[in-house]
């Protein structure tokens, strides 16, 4: 009997920083049977698009590792750090499938990204070769009946928290501890991250 493949969600982003919105969505997907586990795929700095407010790759990975520690369904991944840059989702998913044939990968994106999906690199290839989970975003309506067979709309709670809001708040001296996992907040405070952001992108 062929062993059943793990359903692994790929949640990609800069996670600058990771916040409770990311974690709550991922937790919902795992606990409600959409997938078996989630890999938080930290996007590396794009060498062609410098962003002064983007923390070092390894530091953002460290924040993700701190946020997910102790929950067995979450994993932090630096997989894209080792791929040619800029890293495109189609290439990343193909490389992941080659490296981990024991898993079925599910791309996790918001309804805003699904609406613009035809402008991604190789969207037809992604839809043909991989599963996609689309979570709701305010202002974007997704008709489940209009989706391709391997694209599924997720009925998850909408938690509109942005990393930009958190960075801007910290740079202005605001206490945003309740928007962050306690371990992430502690690292940000200890290392004084985002305090001197002269330019918030």
Could you give the CA distance from residue 87 to residue 148 in angstroms, rounded to a whole number?
25
- Does 83 fall in a domain? yes
- Does 142 fall in a domain? yes
- Does 197 fall in a domain? no
- Whether residue 11 contacts residue 22, with contact meaning beta carbons closer than 8 Å, is answered with yes
Residue 63, token pair as written in the block: 């924040």
- Does 169 fall in a domain? no
What is the pTM assigned to this prediction?
0.93
The pLDDT of residue 1: 52
- Does 193 fall in a domain? no
Could you give the CA distance from residue 40 to residue 11 in angstroms, rounded to a whole number?
5
Q: 163-191, pLDDT tens digit by residue?
A: 999 999 999 999 999 999 999 999 999 99
- Does 53 fall in a domain? yes
Please state whether the peptide bond connecting residue 86 to the residue before it is cis, i.e. omega within 30 degrees of 0. yes
Domain count, the chain: 1
Range of the domain at 62: 6-159
Which are the contacts of 197, defined by CB distance < 8 A and separation ≥ 6? 52, 53, 167, 168, 170, 171
Confidence of residue 48 (pLDDT cuts 50, 70, 90): low
75: domain CATH number?
3.40.50.620
- Does 168 fall in a domain? no
The pLDDT of residue 193: 96
């Amino acid at each position: 009997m062929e062993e059943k493949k793990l359903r692994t969600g790929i949640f990609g982003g800069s996670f600058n920083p990771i916040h409770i919105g990311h974690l709550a969505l991922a937790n919902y997907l795992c606990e409600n049977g959409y997938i078996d586990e989630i890999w938080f795929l930290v996007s590396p700095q794009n060498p062609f698009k410098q962003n002064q407010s983007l923390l070092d790759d390894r530091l953002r990975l460290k924040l993700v590792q701190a946020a997910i520690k102790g929950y067995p369904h979450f994993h932090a991944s630096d997989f894209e750090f080792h791929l040619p840059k800029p890293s495109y989702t189609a290439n990343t998913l193909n490389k992941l499938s080659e490296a981990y044939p024991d898993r079925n990968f599910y791309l996790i994106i918001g309804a805003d990204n699904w609406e613009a999906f035809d402008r991604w690199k190789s969207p037809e290839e992604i839809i043909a070769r991989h599963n996609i989970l689309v979570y709701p975003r305010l202002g974007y309506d997704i008709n489940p009946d209009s989706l391709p067979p391997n694209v599924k709309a997720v009925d998850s709670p909408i938690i509109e928290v942005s990393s930009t809001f958190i960075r801007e708040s910290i740079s202005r001296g605001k206490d945003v501890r309740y928007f962050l996992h306690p371990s992430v907040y502690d690292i940000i405070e200890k290392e004084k991250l985002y305090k001197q952001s002269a330019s918030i992108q």
